Chains A and B, each alone.
Chain A
Amino acid sequence: MSVTRRDFLKYCTASAAALGISAAEVRALAKALLNGGGPTVLWLQGSSCSGCSVSFLNHVASTTPHDAADVLINVINLAYHPTLMAAAGDTAVAAAAAASLAPGHILVVEGGIPTAFAGNACWAWSENGADVTFQQAVTTHAQAAAAIVCVGQCSAYGGIPAAPPNPTAVQSVKQLTGLPTINVAGCPPHPDWMVWTIAKLVAGAQIPLDSFGRPTELYAKRVHDQCPRKEKDEEAESFGEHGGCLEELGCRGPWSQTKGNCPKVKFNDKANWCIGADAPCQGCTNPGFPGTEPFFHEEGEDGDD
């Protein structure tokens, strides 16, 4: 049967009722189509805020995949995602178990892994009547995955939950499992960066990584090197000033590992970006984020790396 998933969705949402197709028939058709669908993705959330998932939903592009729905319908089989999936309870846990058996499946991890209290600061689900900690879930599922994508700082490097004093002994996926991970840095990452990484994996392409596990194509240059305010003589000396370089106010764009193409791609369909709103860059792609330096120099003193 030569029908694409997109065709199927149109069929499912628009034509089925008119054609008198029953819900059960539509579902049977869907099942058949699934066998030919994109690679299975298992998306786990741990010590996170769901901000990476929310950012993913903001994807919009003139090239395919055009938006988040396009990704879900035409690019991947999102077998497990706690915020989006219809299934709950053991139906959801079974979906995760089935996904981990799918050949070539991708594990996406959002959130760090608390290891204090024997992992009991975060539970993933219950299985056979026992609470499964997030630490156990990641340890198990990481082994079977063809690739592990860490979206955001928490799964990639520990992020804010791992900031001093790291109250729940949060670890990154790599720290916990020792396995290589593709780190889509950012707090949250730009949706384009997440979609680009998944699309590359689906296409079977090699993804060169820097020493922090970040795709070099996405994290090639410092934010400062691409900043339209870089060459400006005018420096903002106080908040409330418009248009100047924000370095004296605490901008982390010049930090050596604050990398990403945000000055070019901006955010939210190019509505704006941090420095465009006269707000200092928070350095959220820096593996050391959030660090212990103040984010703002509210009295305008200079900041160092």
Chain B
Amino acid sequence: MSASSSTYTFAPSVITLDPVTRIEGHLKIQVQVDDVGGTLQVVDAWSTGTLFRGFEKILENRHPWDAVPLTQRICGVCPVSHGLAAVKALDAASSVTPPANGRIMRNFVLGANFIASHVLHFYHLALLDYVAGPGLPPWEPSWKTDLRLGASKTQTLVQHYLAALEMRRVAHEAGAIFGGRLPMPPAYVPGGFTHHPNSGDIKQAKTRLKDLIAFIQDVWIPDVVLLGDHYGDYFSVGRGPGNLLAYGVFDLDAKGQELLLKRGRIENGSDAVLPVDIGAITEDVTCSWYDQGANGLNPASGKTDAQYPKSGAYSWLKAPRYDGLPYEVGPLARMTVNGDYHNGISVLDRHMARALEALKVAQAMKTWLKKLDPDQPVFKKHALPQSAQAFGLTEAPRGALGHWVKIQNKKIAHYQVVTPTCWNASPRDTGGLRGPIEQALLGTTVQSVTEPIELLRVVHSFDPCLACAVHVMRPGGGDCLAVS
């Protein structure tokens, strides 16, 4: 068994798939498979985050505004979302409302990064689970299991893979016009934004948006439909818990009451969109390498005291829960909560919702450009409070993101970040409930234990911000077998 350095007890036989690539960061998933009605199916799964950096500790005692540039570096794929969550928390702490220009540019740069991240995800992270790429590294070696598209369609998709590299770059350029640069835009500050837009900026951004919208409409969405034609079974694979949560994103008014993608949650796939009570969010650490004293706390008072090894623990991720239940977050959750998507919850629904969301955001960005006024302020000067407690909620491309801050003596006294991948890739909680990816893997049929491509498809559909490792356990005991 490969998890020699963890103390979690697994079934006796393990096949190791580690690393799972084409993903951001470090995550490991262990899966037990068994013969179910003549096919090999996943009967249990464990998700393990394998990186710990301790950002919360690094932020303590620093100037509160430092949270903005520092938390952006939690993730180079979704830095803008962290920057926005931080400035929203600090806006709230100072009771300041950014002027319209500031709010719009915050939204625009976030939108540009959503498009860049979503394009990267579909074409460069996920697509190679379905088609073979160009015949040279880094696209070779590759698995050849269950590739269903013929040569002609494969070649077309590979061309789109290359075109998409350019499109994600163009999306970043559109955002950098206002944000200063991407990734890690320096223009986000509490009280607004630093950049002063001019008519040339607006024109340049418009040109790039036009290309992006054309690509999403004419290339990307048809490609997801094409994938659905050949992999229709993936509309019923990888459902997960069926609970969807969205904090909402893209404030359309000063108070943040009207959102492009609204806040809400759905329990067990029902049609009802329920309200979100932030107080109902807790983080379990029973199966996480943190001091058990932090178990079940709301992030406002959460703790991040590492404890490795720890009996029963198998992940560096905590397990966020809403009212004690695991929730899936991401584009499918947002689009479903917003009433823009109705088809279901599955691997392919996640891909389709992500592409449709990119189009919705890009079209909204076009209208936001018209509302920028070069003659109006971008920033509201305000005083830093002596002490305050606040949180900032937004969405990363891959799901709900929250920052919780406590200020004392004008310094950060406490900071907690709950990332979307903590929700999606969380380990079991105190009650033994599996995290969403763990649940989504259950029941997945695996054709080849040496090339378990189906597991990659399920894991990738969540767009986890982690480098994964999947371990497949074989029934009936035996030695560790390496997947090759």
Contact = CB atoms under 8 A, between A and B. Distances in A.
Interface of A: 5, 8-9, 12-14, 16-17, 21-23, 26-27, 29-31, 33-34, 37, 45, 47-55, 57-58, 60, 67-69, 72-73, 77-95, 114, 116-117, 120-126, 128-131, 159-161, 163-165, 167-168, 170, 187-188, 238-240, 242, 266-269, 271-274, 276-282, 284, 290, 292, 294-296, 298-299
A9 B137 CA distance: 12
Interface in B142-159: 142-143, 151-152, 154-155, 158-159
Contacts of A53: 76
Interface in B7-21: 14, 16-21
- Among A12, A14, A58, A128, chain B packs the most CB atoms within 10 A around the CB of A58
B484 A91 contact: yes
A174 B151 CA distance: 47
B308 interface: yes
A143 to B, nearest CB: 21
A45 B133 CA distance: 22
A67 B134 contact: no
A92 B471 CA distance: 14
Contacts of B134: 9, 12-13, 30, 73
- Among A21, A31, A125, chain B packs the most CB atoms within 10 A around the CB of A125
Given A274-B181, A295-B65, A267 B484 contact: no
B2 A130 contact: yes
Interface residues of B, number: 109
Interface stretch (B50-58, B278-286, B353-361, B397-405): B50-58
Interface of B: 1-5, 14, 16-26, 28, 50-55, 57-58, 62-63, 65-66, 68-70, 73-77, 79, 120, 124-125, 128, 132-143, 151-152, 154-155, 158-159, 162, 165-166, 168-169, 172-187, 189-192, 194-196, 204, 306, 308-309, 316, 377-381, 384, 456, 467, 469-471, 480, 482-484
Contacts of B152: 17
B187 A13 contact: no
B66 A86 contact: no
A242 B201 CA distance: 15
Given A5-B136, A295-B66, A51 B162 contact: no
B53 A125 contact: no
Contacts of A14: 155, 159
Given A90-B17, A268-B181, A272-B176, 8 more contacts: A51-B183, A55-B183, A89-B18, A91-B483, A123-B18, A168-B52, A266-B181, A279-B180
Contacts of A298: 63, 65, 189-190, 384
B63 A49 contact: no
B70 A160 contact: yes
B180 A274 contact: yes
B102 to A, nearest CB: 9
Given A14-B159, A83-B23, A126 B469 contact: yes
A294 B66 contact: yes
A82 B466 CA distance: 10
A266 B483 CA distance: 45
A129 B22 contact: no
Contacts of A17: 151-152, 154-155
Nearest to B472: A89
B381 A295 contact: no
A28 B6 CA distance: 42
A57 B54 contact: no
A281 B69 CA distance: 11
A69 B165 contact: yes
Nearest to A268: B176
Nearest to B151: A17
Nearest to B308: A117
B21 A294 contact: no
B20 A89 contact: yes
B141 A95 contact: yes
Given A50-B75, A57-B169, A92 B21 contact: yes
Contacts of B308: 117, 120-121
Nearest to A51: B76
Contacts of B74: 49
A282 B191 CA distance: 19
B194 A277 contact: yes
Nearest to A132: B18
A92 B19 contact: yes
A278 B194 contact: yes
Contact of B378 (A33, A73, A240, A268): A240
A23 B159 CA distance: 15
A267 B143 contact: no
B129 to A, nearest CB: 9
A129 B484 CA distance: 12
B14 to A, nearest CB: 7
A12 B3 contact: no
Given A12-B134, A16-B155, A57-B165, A91 B141 contact: yes
Given A123-B28, A295-B69, A167 B53 contact: yes
A296 B379 contact: no
Contacts of A86: 21-22, 128, 132-133, 138-143
8 contacts: A13-B162, A53-B76, A72-B138, A87-B21, A123-B50, A268-B177, A295-B68, A298-B384
